[in-house]
Amino acid sequence: MILKDLSEAIGVSGEEGGVRAVLLDAVQGLADEVRVDTMGNVLAVKRGAGRDRMRVMVAAHMDEIGLMVVGHDSDGFLQVRAVGGIDPRLLPGTLFQVGSDHIPGVVGIKPIHLVEDEEEEKVAKIEDLVLDIGAKSKDEAKRLAPIGTYAAFTTRFRKRGRVVSGKAFDDRVGCAVLVELLRGERFRFDLHAAFTVQEEIGLRGARVAAYAIEPDCAFALEGTIADDIPKDKDVSPTTQMGKGPAITIMDRSVIADRRLVRLLTDTADEIGIPYQIKQPGIGGTDAGAIHQTREGVPSVTVAVPCRYIHSPVALLSLDDFENTVRLMREALSRLTRRTLSR
């Protein structure tokens, strides 16, 4: 299952090779051209069946959040910093895989027995945490995990009925949706699939990919926040698992083009695909970088709701995944130049 392979592959922002290998393999035979640019983005083109030379970019990012080794102490512990938005509250008790040899490492904190009440309330800062790979000396630690080594979550992908769990659904689920789009029939237009790098540290790969592709419009595919767990006040869950693909109208990085939003919602209404509008004003995606390239690119983001993204274990519904693929395929089938006329 492509989502499983992608979820378990390792690719922290800046070293996406593990995921790139899985994707290069997965898109073999599905696209007319595949190349990897200097930043490491995988750019695949599936030429259109018709005469419309419209260029449609669909992006999903390969990178995941993780840690980077920045130092070694005299006891052999690794000092680390966050790569992307890792929540420090989640670090204690977490298992990581370190470096290209996937050495297991753990993050532990002072035992509760030894901690005063007030200290229990404080969240340890990442500068004060260490990653333990079992090394016995500074030299050994340096040799096994030199400065610059990446550490990723270690979570096995599991399926429980229609719900799956694993790491890095943000944005391996987006990558999986994109692979499925490449797998089907050709569209009228040229589909430029971009599996991007370094989204988590500033939408970097998408920016240069969009510059190279020069699309007429763009869709970013994501795994997004589903905050549908119990809370005190009746407020937005951001998105809800099981309620279908989430369309972004506005987040911190982009205001979606309303014509593309309408294309998606009209398509969904017409065919009967459930969907939701992501809570406006939260988060940022590759669409943020893409829409501001060159003379501007009308863009929108479509996401699969995932609980606990940016934690070692996320959950998503396969119904949402399949509905996202369906919505994208149907909407893209209805997309023409007229959609973008004013």
Partner 1 sequence: MRELVRKLTETYGPSGVEEQIRATIRAEVEPLADDVRVDPLGSLVAHREGSGEGKRIVLAAHMDEIGVMVTYVDEKGFARFTGIGGVRAINCVGGRVAFEDGTTGVLGVEEKRSDADKVPKFEQLYIDVGASSRDDCPVKVGDAAAFVRPFVAQGNRLIAKAIDDRVGCAVLIEALRRLKKTPHDLYFIFTTQEEVGLRGARTSVYGIEPDLAIAVDVTLTGDMPESKPMAVELGRGPAVKVQDGGMIAHPEVRDLLVQCAEKAKIPYQMEVLERGTTDAAAMQVVRAGVPSGCISIPCRYVHTPSEMVDEGDVENGVRLLLEVLQTA
Partner 2 sequence: MKVVPLLKRLSEAEGVTGCEGPVRELLRQTWEPFVDEMREDKLGNLIALEWGEPSKLLRPRLMLAAHMDEIGLRVTGIDKGFLRITRVGGTDRRALLGVEVVVHATRASRRGRDLPGVVATRPPHVLPQAARKKTVPWDEIFVDVGLPPKEVERLVSVGDLISIRRELAELKNRRVAGKAIDNRIGLVVLTLALEQLSGARHAWDVAAVATVQEEIGLRGAMTSAYGVAPDLGIALDVTFGKQPGVSDVDGSALGEGPVILVGANFHSGIVARLKEVAEAHEIPYQLEPAPGQSGTDAWAIQVAREGVPTGLICVPVRYMHQPVETLDMQDAERAGRLLAAFVIGLEPDFLEELAWEQGSA
Contacts of 181 (CB under 8 A, 6+ apart): 58, 191, 193, 325, 328, 329, 332
24 binding partner 1? (CB under 8 A): no
Whether 43 contacts 205, CB under 8 Å: no
Q: What span, in angstroms and rounded, lies between the C-alpha atoms of 294 and 212?
A: 10
Residue type, position 73, single letter: D
- Angle, nearest 10°, between helix axes 17-26 and 169-183? 20
Q: 52 vs 240, which CB is nearer to partner 1?
A: 240
38 binding partner 2? (CB under 8 A): yes
Q: 183 vs 326, which CB is nearer to partner 2?
A: 183
Alpha-helix residue ranges (DSSP H) falling in 113-168: 117-121, 138-144
207 binding partner 1? (CB under 8 A): no
Residue type, position 279, single letter: Q
Question: One of 64, 199, 200, 222 is an active-site residue; which one?
Answer: 199
How many residues in the shown chain lie near partner 1 by CB under 8 A? Answer: 23
Could you say which residues in the range 215-244 bind partner 1, by CB under 8 A? 233-236
Look-up: residue for tokens 């040799």?
143
Enumerate the β-bridge partners of residue 306: 225, 316
Active-site residue, 185 included: no
| Coil vs helix vs strand at 58 | strand
Give min distance, CB of 20 to partner 2, in A: 7
Could you say which residues in the range 88-107 bind partner 2, by CB under 8 A? none
Where in the sequence numbering do the catalytic residues fall? 199
Q: Which residues of this chain interact with partner 2, rule CB under 8 A?
A: 13-15, 17, 20-21, 24, 27-29, 31-42, 44, 67-71, 79, 81-84, 127, 146-148, 198, 201-202, 204, 207-208, 211-212
Residues at the site binding partner 1, with contacts judged by CB under 8 A: 233-236, 249-250, 255-256, 258, 261, 277, 279-281, 291-298, 342
